[in-house]
A = this chain, B = another copy of it.
Amino acid sequence: MDIDPAWLPPAAFRAVGGRRTLVRGAGPLVDTVRGEVAAACERFGGRMVPEEARADLVLELTGDTGDEGFACVRADGTTTVTASGGPGLLYGLFHVVRLGEDAFRGERAREEHRPAVALRMLDHWDNVAVHPVMGQVERGYAGGSLFWSDGRARGDLERVRAYGRLLAACGINAVAVNNVNVHETEARLLTDRIGEVADIAGALRPYGIRTHLSVTFAAPVVLGGLPTADPLDERVRAWWAGATARVYEAIGDFGGFVVKADSEGRPGPFAYGRTHADGANLLAAALAPHGGTVHWRAFVYDHRQDWRDRTTDRARAAYDHFVPLDGEFAANAVLQVKHGPMDFQVREPVSPLIGAMPRTRLAVEVQATQEYTGQQRHVCWLGPMWSEALRFRPDGEVSAGRLADGLVAVSNVGDDPFWTGHPLAQANLYTFGRLAWDPAADPRAVLGEWIALTRPEAPARLEAGLRAVLDGSWRTYEKYTAPLGVGFMVQPGHHYGPSVDGYEYSPWGTYHFADRDGVGVDRSAATGTGYASQYAKPWSELYESPDTCPDDLLLFFHHVPYGHVLHSGKTVIQHIYDTHFEGVEEAEEARRVWAGLTDLVDPAQHARVADRYEEQVRCAREWRDQVNSYFLRKSGVPDERGRTIH
């Protein structure tokens, strides 16, 4: 089967490819631009014109837009894109592609575009050697790894190149090529196997993408043979300096390291009585001479918690660990924070760490791979969720202030012919890139872009159909899964499908505390774990009381009786019943809409999605019935509408 062109089908280049175009400038990324235009012209009858010739489109390296920015203007029948750097020119070209014929109509006032966030990254949780439990790609739902196969880097990097091109077209500029859980084989990518990483970096470089590597904090011990990995030990510092220098010999524009330390069993600085700032700064110092960055993950918590202990609260952990270290991190260290305080649940508040460390560079991490949102067997377009998180302002104002220095998504891509397992999950990858470029963008407008690019000749019925199945799909998924922000309720281990008590008596800090009277976690300052007070006002006050807490997050912050009346006017128990029935109905309706598009979609793609809708509807019913039955059995409160609950 051919590889799906995703949002860069040949027809997307029709408008550009039919023109006379001048590309002016030199450098590898300008060559990429030139190659793109030439290919489009060959297909659609336009041509590359020489200096001084009349051109419909000029792409030139000039001006002062910053390396990644570009300006676009149309006057006198010529559309001109200028950029001061190769990446900006490439982004400018893709901007014109997105505009299509509109780019060549009438006049267009000069617009300047720059990314709001400098670091726009995808983390691949790809293992080189197949892990006995986690497989080739940890939490991967799109086949094997794009990068690794049979225990080594793929020899054929054509797909990696195609991937880089897709990422450039949505604005991504960094990729980490291996799992943050760095196992034995993968540790060696840093040293004797760096050549394999260099090959991948070479395939991504023409698209303005820098390659990053996940490394183990224990590398000086497991690779260097040192007796310690203590970040303050001179031998350790020397080892990292040397190892990093050798990385840069192989990859001159290497982006840096990603580190998961002292988390879920990974080694880290705690073993040596050092802080996470000590740990991060060790690597930052090794990278600084070369212009690299260390991404230090803030996902640190006690994963061996006693469920009997109601005072420990995993949601508090990142804030408690890291806020005291604000100001201690090096300038080229970035603290990478999950968008919510738990773990990529379908509904969480925004992490209180965001905004609480003004003197620390932060990157916000989201999960494009749908670990907790249907594993690419369910349609769940995450644009609205990410947008809500990215528009959140810690002080309650929608300010122009920076939310983060970086945005990172765990990639949802593998070697699947549709890239993402579920063809419609491509929309998540595209949306992430565009929101990383502009977190204030309207996600629905981004979805429109994706539809127009992916299906340039789509009739209105297809566009309407895609919007119908995607627009509300996150809300639909939320409706039939864990209610009101309570989270989890998934089957342990693989995290697919319902198990209401699956993580209730576990060591993972993931509880709902449902009993015959009520449900939810009291995280108030007054009577609970105090998590609510980690926020600045107004959020701390809003979340503190069930009267002001948003319905969507009620059970994240409060343990309430089943009869508690939501702002919606419904009781909690009736809300649970209603949303679960609605969620299934919405999934069934989406399946019906998709079935009606059969004449408008490539048969293989239509069949793949149709098959997955069967599974989605089956699984949604399972969620509905298990959640409703669980709460009916526990609460004894019948459904007001008398529907079947088991």
Between A and B, 16 residue pairs with Cβ closer than 8 Å are A307-B646, A308-B625, A308-B629, A308-B646, A493-B493, A499-B502, A500-B501, A505-B622, A505-B626, A505-B629, A505-B630, A514-B633, A516-B516, A516-B635, A516-B636, A634-B634
Task: Give A133 Cβ to nearest chain B Cβ, in Å.
Answer: 11
- A442 near B: Cβ within 8 Å? no
- Name A505's contact: one of B498, B517, B635 (CB within 8 Å): B498
For A636, the closest partner residue in chain B by CB is: B516
Interface core residue of A499, A500, A622 (most chain B CB under 10 Å): A499
A516: B residues at CB distance < 8 A: 516, 633-636
B308 in contact with A517 (CB, 8 Å): no
A493: B residues at CB distance < 8 A: 493
Q: Which 9 A-B pairs have the closest CB atoms?
A: A515-B633, A308-B646, A501-B501, A516-B516, A505-B626, A516-B636, A516-B634, A634-B634, A308-B625
For A505, the closest partner residue in chain B by CB is: B626
A633: B residues at CB distance < 8 A: 514-516, 634
CA distance A550 to B143 in the complex (A): 53
CA distance A499 to B506 in the complex (A): 9
CA distance A501 to B626 in the complex (A): 11
A635: B residues at CB distance < 8 A: 516
A505 in contact with B499 (CB, 8 Å): yes
8 Å CB contacts to B: which residues of A482-508?
Answer: 491-493, 498-502, 505
Give how many A residues have a beta carbon under 8 Å from the other chain's beta carbons: 26
- Per-residue interface assignment for chain A, residues 281 to 323, with 1 indicating a CB less than 8 Å from any chain B CB and 0 otherwise: 0000000000000000000000000011000000000000000
Interface core residue of A491, A516, A630 (most chain B CB under 10 Å): A516
Given A308-B625, A515-B632: 18 more A-B contacts, CB < 8 Å:
A307-B646, A308-B646, A491-B492, A493-B493, A498-B505, A499-B502, A500-B501, A501-B630, A505-B622, A505-B625, A505-B629, A505-B630, A515-B634, A515-B636, A516-B516, A516-B633, A516-B635, A633-B634
- Per-residue interface assignment for chain A, residues 453 to 475, with 1 indicating a CB less than 8 Å from any chain B CB and 0 otherwise: 00000000000000000000000
A307: B residues at CB distance < 8 A: 646
CA distance A514 to B501 in the complex (A): 13
For A491, the closest partner residue in chain B by CB is: B492
Task: Give A433 Cβ to nearest chain B Cβ, in Å.
Answer: 36
A515: B residues at CB distance < 8 A: 632-634, 636
CA distance A493 to B494 in the complex (A): 12
8 Å CB contacts to B: which residues of A101-137?
Answer: none
For A498, the closest partner residue in chain B by CB is: B505
CA distance A632 to B501 in the complex (A): 15
Task: Give A332 Cβ to nearest chain B Cβ, in Å.
Answer: 43
For A629, the closest partner residue in chain B by CB is: B505
CA distance A433 to B583 in the complex (A): 57
A502: B residues at CB distance < 8 A: 499
For A310, the closest partner residue in chain B by CB is: B646
